[in-house]
Each structure stands twice: as structure tokens, then as C-alpha cells.
Amino acid sequence: MAAQAAPLAPGSASRGAVPAFPPVALSAEAAPFTPLGTDGWRLGSPSDVEQQFSRCAAKLRALRADSGQLKEELNLLLDQLLSENYNKTLEPNINIRPEDVCCLLKHISCLVPLSQEHLVIKLCQLVHHLLNQLKVIMEERTLDVLLDYTTSALKVCSTWTHSDVLLALSTIVYGNGPQCHKHLRDLLGEDGVLLRYSSPSQPNIELRHVALTCMANVCMRIPGQASLDDQYRSVSFRVFLKTLQSTKPPNIDELYYCMVIQAALKGLQCCLSGGKWKFVGEELGSVLAALKRLMFQGTPGVSVEWPTVLYPAPLPQYEGLSAPKPAELPTSSELPSDAPVSGKTSGVRQAFNYSSITFNKISDFVLNVSPQNKKRKSKGKGKKTSSEESRVDDGEEYIRETVPALQKGGGREGGGGDGESLSKPSCPSFYPSWKRASSDSEFSDPEGSAQSKLRLYNGRLRQGALHCLLAVVKSVEKRTLYGYWSSFMPDSPIGGPPPLTLITIILKDPSPKVLSAMLDGSRQFLAVAEDTASPRKSYTPFSFLLATAVRELHRALTLALLAETSPQTLTQVIKCLAYLVANAPYHRLRPGLLSPLWKQMRPYVRNRDVNVRVSVLTLYGALVTTQAPLPEVQLLLQQPEGSTSGSSSGSLTQQDSALSWRQRDGVSTPPTPVKPSLRSSRTHSPQVVRTPEEADSSAPPWLLQLCLSLVTQPREDQSDSEGAGTGGGGAALEPSPVRLEALQVMSHLVRGYFSLAQASLCEIGQMSARCVREADPSIQLHGTKLLEELGTGIIQQYRAENNEAVRVPMSQVVLFWSDVLSGPLNGALQSEQHPTLQTSACDALSSILPQAFAQLPDKTQLMCVTVLLGLTYSDNYLVKTAAVRALGVYILFPCLREDVMFVADTANTILAALDDRSPNVRAKAAWSLGNLTDTLIANMETVGVDFQEELSDMLLLKMLQAATRASADKDRVKSNAVRAIGNLLHFLRQSQLTRSAFQSPLEDAVLALVKTVQSEATMKVRWNACYALGNAFRNPALPLDSAPWSCDAFSSLCHVVSSCKNFKVRIKSAAALAIPANRGCYGDSGRFGCVWRSLAKALENSEDTNDFFEYRYSASLRHTLSHALLHLLGVSRSQDMPSLGASLAGEEGGGIKQHLIRYLRAEEGGGDGAEGEKEMAGDSCTPQQRIGGLQETLNRLKELEAEGEEGTSKEMVVHFLEDLLKTCEEL
């Protein structure tokens, strides 16, 4: 790299043994100094740099404003300070204290008068030099002093100095925008200096560029700090947007104007990243239109008329082809004819058709590749051919100089950040490119050097536009962004060339991060996509358009995979596919999308780059997770390994030949023999080729075998220098990220396709146990999570509705858990230094099949229970939460729930957890208490009174009081607390209810339920409270007829059954009102009539709702209400006849009759929410049984003795029932 010199006084060359540097005349065009000798020797050691700084600083501090030689001394000392290299990236041992730098700069600013413009320039260069390279964070006093000085210089000094002054100012304000509030009015207020210089009417392009950069740095927000005031951020936003929308003045060089646009893009990104942003009017559409135009800046073959605003619309917007305007920036298609080779030219000129592009055409199509794609050819090797030159990484410098500063939020641009090459000194990117210390030798060839620079700058513009678009995507609500989906996502072209979208960018200039951000979280938007139905000819449904977009994304992204060999870009493209697979509704799309993708990913699992391998496993994880079990994926998993091979003999992809690091399928070189001790007969190497005829139909899926191999087996090729784990014998295993992702894929596979993985149950269990034994906590954690998934899959298989023939044999389940519990899981449970591992181990312990737990040895059962009881006293709330939840699972085990001692120990543990400070612990404790009380009810029915008598009365009282207190907690605690109250009120015996100690807690508990039913809590809490009241009503010992709280209980249920908007709450309340078994429980005739009228009104209004999600429960609601009304008729007495007769005689009776007919004939009463049926004893009654019950009710009412008004009303009720019965028999 050619050495460049800064302004230097002649006298400075006589310092010691320092080599002389040629003096350069001071001017506005002077370049920053880079201290290299003529032979490349770097000036001094780090200690020399520090000593030189200390000497110069001491001399400067000794100077006074009235000194006779002040100007000369300042000139010499400033030159000496500027001649040093303080770059900590190159010289990490430099240790100059920030406070010394701040003190020095404050003192110099007092010595340099604004009238000495040459010294002002040198001071501004020094400010930028020191703050930028030393990464100095200024305290408030220094910030104010330097801001005062630079803003004053802008007002007093000549215009030719303003470029350097603004450069220093941009360094000062970097990330300090909110702290500059005293000067923001002068900078960004009306007629502010930055607004003047950044205006599109500013003729000096250099000043405009630096002013925009300075404005961007003012808007820059450091994480953890406050953002800039919205007033000034809005002003800056409008300036940046206006700059992006402006056309290039005719007398301005294209390269300079590219830098102006790039600065505006950085500023716009800073505005959007500085906090929440609200777009006003058409601002969002204008920004997206400008960014879309710049996304294709300089892209060959793109010549369209760009809209100034994009509008949200469900249909795609197609840009019309037209000739470019003269004022537009020139594109790379205007390059000299000798730039591309002939094949490339034909690729540029042809219409861009996704379906017809092969790998070679795409690679030839790209004149301006992404900066991270290919390595630059070494210089000095002779002239490149035009083809080689076109494939050179024109944007390599962009990575080193431009990208990281604003993205990382730390350090100043060009200050030697992490993205810079160590072989290149720090170069501040605030300088225009012709003033930077980057090597000009890259463009030394006089032929085409300007065009090379233009391609480089256009590449930077496209990258900047994509970074800015990513910021827009992250700052805008998904719902708003979906309106612009068609402008950036492809769909099938309706004749002519397809629209320009993000996929076009990925294929031409890969940068898939924006597409990933748009696809992430798009499940709700894509959920309506569907193309399984026959296409309509009259119009195209929106669901079909979305389905077409999904298919186009699949096709284009798979083409991008073929076109790329860069590991970074491959990783991003595969991540895009993973996001797409995770969010698209494949169960609503025609099959066939996932099969090619599944096969195409096969070669990439052997890619040399670890990030590519991890992303491929992530994609496979998404494939086995999406809408599992998906028939297409199930078929792919069942296919023999050889039939899904991604490459066959003699047909290798570019990635196979160039990037394969494992033995490839189908290659003539035989695979490395595998020792039997390393690979079992079941887990063979995924590289062994097997034909479909040779494949064992019962063999585990290839994906499962691959993951087992990646986790446990040594790498077959250890040539790459990636960090890897070591096996027990010291052999290098796969890197941890690959092994972790493989474990996650296995977890997804077991969760979604357990029937296919169960053949390898013991093998997976052994692998998981091996992972738990390892030293890496992450591997241990994923091993225990996999054990939990296996246990959950077994439990789901043993549910009553599943086919017994496909279940894992019980003996195998018992053997599996015996091995796991006798292995390292016990150690993981006691690993106090890793609480997350303990938590996961508790979850794994809670996933044991109850039937298998009963067959485990007694000592194993005792160990599980003892460990869980002990972990509930852990200091870590995560461990305590998981242990309490596991106890809540164990209390339901048939072999444990009848053990009174275990029930008592668990109850005391749960009661202690209900008083924990953590809401998570309390929520799980309430859930476990609900399960425990469910167990009490189950034991009351199976064991009987003996269990009730053995359980301590005081323990029951404590549980009732604790549940009542918990019912006033947060909703997630309250929902299970009220469930526990209902169970306890159902469980209490007559002898306990009559004790004085229970009287007050009993009343408090019922009133807590009443309060919850009438509260504004979440609907789940309210319907649980209604269910709890109904559960309490089942206890015949409760004094419902005489207790003062019973009136409140019935009143609350009557209110919600007729007025609550949530139908599930109404269903639960109606079911509760139908539970009391005898007439006395309903109280006097007034309360009974109130209950009847509430149920009748609710039945009449059972279809009154505007919410579709509630309407689907209306059939179940009518079923429950009809059952409740018939139940009331069945228990009614003579004193109830007047209220019943008045209701059934009028129009209301006609409506009730129609609903009762449908109920008796079982015409409705299921639907999606048959919750009501589950609450009633007659939920499984046939129509004949229901009609039989109605006949019994009619016969009983006929036998009632009633006189006067009661007798007349009785006859009306009897006539209603006879007519109802006759109608049902006739139908």
C-alpha cells in the first residue's frame, strides 16, 4: 500500500532517528497521515508511541496563550502528534488513558484561536485522529468544550475548512446525540449548519457527504443509552429520505454521489434503529420505494421505471420496463464492451427467468458479487483477464471499512474495528474515499479503474440499502409490513419478465438477511395460503396468491443454493429456507415442495464449514417440526437412505465437488472402514450407499442415523481447524454447535414422528445418557431434553385412544427407564452448579410412563420421589419450579396417589411453594395443588372413606386456606387455585364441615369462588371458578339450602350464564347449575325461579354473538342449557309450578320446546366444545334414555298434589311436557 503523508512542518523531520517524511503543502485536500517509512518500517514500538504522546502532551500543557512562539510550537507539536499511529487494533499494547486525551484536547482548544485556520484544521484532524483510533469515551465536560469549539469554527472559519471541522464534529457526536442537546438547535434546528450543508441544493458534494455522515452519527444510538429527541430525529429522517429520493446533479461525479447516498442510507438506518419509529402518511411507502430502487443500484440488466411510493396492496406491483432517465446513476450495464466476456453479456441481456437458470448461468450473470463471496486475487501477478476481473470481490474493502461500525454500536467508523484487516492501518471512513488511506493500487490500471470503483461503490450502496431495509422490517409491525409483501416477495410471473424482488437480489447479489427477517414470524400471514382446491377461473383468491409466493420462494432459494459456494451466503440462504419451512402451511399446499428440498440438503451435511452444517441441521429440524406429522415428511423419513441421496455416481453438485469434507455418496473411493466398536450395526455411517432393495424397511430414518453419528462418532476428516469436542478415547468429535443442533433435530424428530424413532429407543437412550455424562453443560442439557421427549412420546402412545399394536412394549419401556435412572441422570439432578441442567433433569423425570414407574424397583421409585422432594427447597427458582411440577405429575400416578404419606409429604411441599416469592413457582405449585386435589377426589371414589379418614383434618384445612389465598394471586396462579378449592369443598366430610375450625375458611373459600366468577379476570380463570362451584355442589354435606353464602353462589352463576360474552364460561355455569341432586339444594321457590329464568334466557340468547370463535361453542351451550332445564323440571316441586308455568305458557315456551326437541333427539350437543356434556351424568345418554328420563319427570309431576294457582300452573307444565314427548315420539 502506498504511504500517504499528513500535513507536516519541515522542522519535524529532524527528530532523533526518525526517518524524514517529505513535507506536503496544507490544503483542504490533504490526506490523513499514515506513519510508514519508505521501506515499510513502522514507526516506533508501542512504548515509543506512548512516550511521544506524553512528551508532546507535556509540552502542549506548558504552552500559554501569550507565548511569543505559540504558533510555531503548536504547529510542530500538532504535526508530531498527527504523525503517530494510535490504532489499538494494530498495536494492542498502547495504553494511553482516555482522561489524558480529553485533558489534552481541552487544553489545545483553548490555545488555538479560530483566526488561525491552518491550526484549526490540524486540531480538528487531531481530534478525529485520537478519538477515533483510541476509542475514547468522552466525559461531559470534554464533550461540551469540543462541541463549542467546532460549532464556533463552523460559524467563524472559512468554508474551505468546514470539511475537516465537520469531520471532527462527526467523530465527537458519534453516539452522543442525546448529550448534545445544547447544540442541536445550531446543528439541526431551522437553518442549522448540518441542514444547510446536507441539502440537495448544496453544490459542494464533499461538504454534503460529511454533513450527512455527521447527522447520521448524531442519530446513532449506543445500546443502553437514550435515543435522540424525536423532533431532531424526524428532521434528520426527512433529510435522509429526501437525499435518497433526489437525482444526481449533472455536474457531479458518480463516485462522489454514491458516497452521499451511502451516508444517507447509514443515517436512515440510525434513525430507524434509534428506538420505536412511527411512519406518517406515505413515509413508509416512500422509504421502501427508495430502498427497493437502491437494492438494484448498478445491477446488470435492470432498467425499469421505479415508483416514488409503494402502496400496500394484496396484489403484486410490477415495474414497467423503460429506458433509464439521464439523471439516474449509471448502471454497470453501461460498462465498456471489453469488461464482460461474451457468455456473460448474453446472460445479462436475456430476460431473467428463474426456471431456466443453471448454476453456470447464474454465476456468469453476476457482474457485481457480494463482498463476502470470493477471495481477491493476489496483486502483482500480471493483468487479469476480463472474466477473472469480473469475478473479483470488488467489495472486499466494504467489509473491512464500512459495514461494522454502525452495526456493532461500538467504536467509530474507520477506527480499526473488528472488521478491518490487520494488514491495513486504520482509515476513518468519515473521509471521502479519495482521502482515505486505502490502497489506490487496486485501481492503478488506467483502463477501467473508474468503472471498477463504480462497481465497488454500487455494491456498497446495495449492501447499505439492504441493511437499511432490514432496519425497516424490524421497526415496522408485521401486520403493516404484510401490505408490502408483494413488492419484495416473488410469485409466478404473469407473462413477461418476473418482478424485481428480494429473491432477485439473492440470486444476483446475495444478502438473504432481509428475507430471513421478513419470513421470521410470518406464520399468521402465510396461514391462509392454500392451493389444494381446484383453481378458480373467475378470480384468483388471495390464499392462492400466497401459496404461489411460497412455491416461488422455494424455487428461487433452491436456485440460490446452486449458485453459491460462499459459506456465509450459503448459511443465510439455508436459514431463509428454515424460516420459510417453519412458517408455511404445507398441510394446505399441494405435496411436493419439501421432497426436493430434503434431497438437495443432503450434500451440505458434509460441508467443510461448520456454520453451513449447523444451518442444514436447523433446516432439517424445521422440516420435521412443521405441522408434524406431515404425510410428505413421513414418507421422506421412511424412504431408504439410498433413494434420498442428494448426489449420484457421476452427478455431483458444485458443493459436492468443491466443499465436501466427508466421504461422498456414490464416489468411487471406498469409505473408511468403521470399527464395530465405534459404530453399531444400527447406526451405520450416513455415507454408506444403500439401494432401495438393500434397505431394511424397519431401519431407523436416515436423518436419525445421521444425528446419532454426528453426536457420538469421531469425525472422519479432522483436517479443518474447527474446535471440536473429544470422545472418551480422545478422538475428536464434531464441533459443539453441530452436535447441539443434531440433538435438537432428534428431539424434533422424536416429538413429531415418534413411531418412526421408537425402533431406536434404547439406542437413543444410550446416546442421551452418554451426553449427560459429558463435561459440556450444553450437551448435558440437550441430552436430558431428548430424554424428556422420549418419555413424552411413550406417554402419548399409551393414551387410551391410540392403537395398542404400535406401542412400545412395556418391558422395553421399563428397561429404558431403568437404564436411564441408574445412569448419569441422578448426577444431573444433583448438579447444583448447573441449575438449568437440574431443571431439565426434573422435566425428564416427570415424563416417566406411570405404568412403567409402578414396575420400577422400589429403591428407584424412592430415589425419584426423594430427589424431587429435596429439590423443592433449592435456592434457584427454576429448579424449584420444575421439582414442584414433577411432584404434581407424580401425585397422579396410580401407584403413588393412594399412599397417604406421599400425599401428605407432597401437600406440605406444595403449600410451602405457594408462599414463594417467584410467581413461576407459585403458578406451578397451584397447578400441582389442583392435581393433588384431583387425586383426593379419585381416591374418594376408588378407596372410599378409609382414605378420607387417614388424611389429617389440619392438613386439609391448611390446603383450603392456602388455595383461598392463592385465588387472589395472579391469574395463572388463580386458575388452578380455584380448581383446588372446588375439589376440596367436594372432598370434605360432614364431620369436618360441622367443626367450628372449618366454618370461616369454608365461607371464605366459597366467597372467593363467587368473587372470581364475577371478576374481570381472564376467561380461563372464570370458567374454572364456575367449574369449581359445580364441583362443590356435588358434595351432599354442603348446606346449600341454609348457608348464607349459597345465595351468592347461585346468584353469580345465574348472572354469568345469561350475560357473559364468553360461551365457555356460560357452559360451565350452566353445567354447575344442573349439578345439585335434590330440590332442597336450590333453596326456596324464589331462588329456584331465578335459576330457571336465567337458564331460559340464556337458551333464548344462545346464538347472539358477533364473535365467530364463540359461535362455534353455541351448540354445546344449547345442549348444556337444555339438560339443565330438564334437570330443574325433574326436581321441581308444587311451589315451583307458578314460575315454571308462566315461562312455558308464552312465546318463551315455544322457543324452549324447539331447543328441547333437538336435545332429546340428539340433533346437537357436540361441536368443538362439548364441555357441557362432560359435566353431567347423562352426557353419554342415548335419545331413548333422554326421552325415558322425560317420561319419568312427566309421571312424577302428574302425581304432585297442587291446588289453586299451583294446580293450574301444574297442568300447564304437564301439558307442555306431554306435547313435547308426543312430538319427539312422532319424529
The one-character DSSP state at 696 is -
**Spatial distance between the Cα atoms of 788 and 747, rounded to a whole number of angstroms:** 9
pLDDT for 19 beyond 70? no
Can you say how many angstroms the Cα of residue 401 is from the centroid of all Cα atoms in its chain? Answer: 30
Q: Which amino acid is at 400?
A: R
Nearest in space to 363 (alpha carbons), one of 339, 387, 398: 387
pLDDT at 284: 86
**Dihedral of the alpha carbons of 459, 461, 466, 472, in degrees to the nearest 10:** 180
Q: Is 144 exposed, middle or buried (0-12, 13-18, 19+ CB in 10 A)?
A: middle
Name which of 349-358, 816-825, 1066-1075 the model is least confident about.
349-358
pLDDT at 113: 85
* C-alpha gyration radius of the chain: 39
Q: Which residues contact 518 (CB under 8 A, 6 or more apart)?
A: 473, 481, 485, 488, 489, 502
Of 511-525, 639-653, 962-976, give the range with the top mean pLDDT: 962-976
pLDDT tens digits, one per residue of 1162-1219: 766 544 444 444 444 345 678 888 888 889 988 888 888 877 778 888 888 888 888 8
Find the length of the chain.
Answer: 1227
Q: Which residues contact 267 (CB under 8 A, 6 or more apart)?
A: 212, 213, 215, 216, 219, 236, 239, 240
Q: Is 410 exposed, middle or buried (0-12, 13-18, 19+ CB in 10 A)?
A: middle
Q: Which residues contact 63 (CB under 8 A, 6 or more apart)?
A: 70, 73, 74, 111
pLDDT at 417: 35
Name which of 667-671, 840-844, 857-861, 939-943 the model is least confident about.
667-671
Identify whether the C-beta of residue 752 lies closer than 8 Å to the C-beta of residue 628.
Answer: yes
User: Percent of the chain at pLDDT above 70?
Assistant: 73
Identify whether the C-beta of residue 1097 lies closer than 8 Å to the C-beta of residue 1056.
Answer: no
Q: Which residues contact 1059 (CB under 8 A, 6 or more apart)?
A: none
Sign of the C-alpha dihedral, residues 1171, 1177, 1183, 1189?
A: negative
pLDDT tens digits, one per residue of 457-473: 887 888 888 888 888 88
pLDDT tens digits, one per residue of 559-615: 888 877 778 888 888 988 998 898 888 888 888 889 999 988 988 888 889 999 999
Residue 367 banded pLDDT, cuts 50, 70, 90: very low
pLDDT tens digits, one per residue of 275-323: 667 787 788 888 888 888 887 887 776 767 778 888 886 434 434 444 3
pLDDT for 535 beyond 60? yes
Provide the grid cell at 419: 472488521
**Dihedral of the alpha carbons of 1077, 1083, 1089, 1093, in degrees to the nearest 10:** -60
Nearest in space to 481 (alpha carbons), one of 513, 512, 526: 526
Q: Which amino acid is at 430?
A: F
CA distances from 1209 to 422, 852, 1123 (A): 100, 61, 22
- Helix and strand totals (H; E) in the chain: 59, 0
Nearest in space to 720 (alpha carbons), one of 608, 611, 613: 608
Return mean pLDDT, the chain.
Answer: 75
pLDDT for 44 beyond 70? no
**Spatial distance between the Cα atoms of 783 and 795, rounded to a whole number of angstroms:** 19
pLDDT tens digits, one per residue of 599-632: 889 888 888 899 999 999 999 999 999 888 889 9
Identify whether the C-beta of residue 146 lies closer than 8 Å to the C-beta of residue 182.
Answer: no
pLDDT tens digits, one per residue of 758-804: 888 888 988 998 999 998 999 999 999 999 999 999 999 898 777 77
CA angle 756, 760, 766 (to 5 degrees): 145
Q: Please give the backbone phi and psi of residue 938, each rounded to the nearest 5 degrees, phi first.
A: -65, -40
pLDDT at 309: 83
pLDDT tens digits, one per residue of 87-136: 766 766 778 888 888 888 888 888 888 888 888 988 898 888 888 888 88
Cis omega (within 30 of 0) on the bond before 629?
Answer: yes
Which comes out higher in pLDDT, residue 509 or 972?
972
User: Percent of the chain at pLDDT above 90?
Assistant: 25
The one-character DSSP state at 624 is T
pLDDT at 683: 36
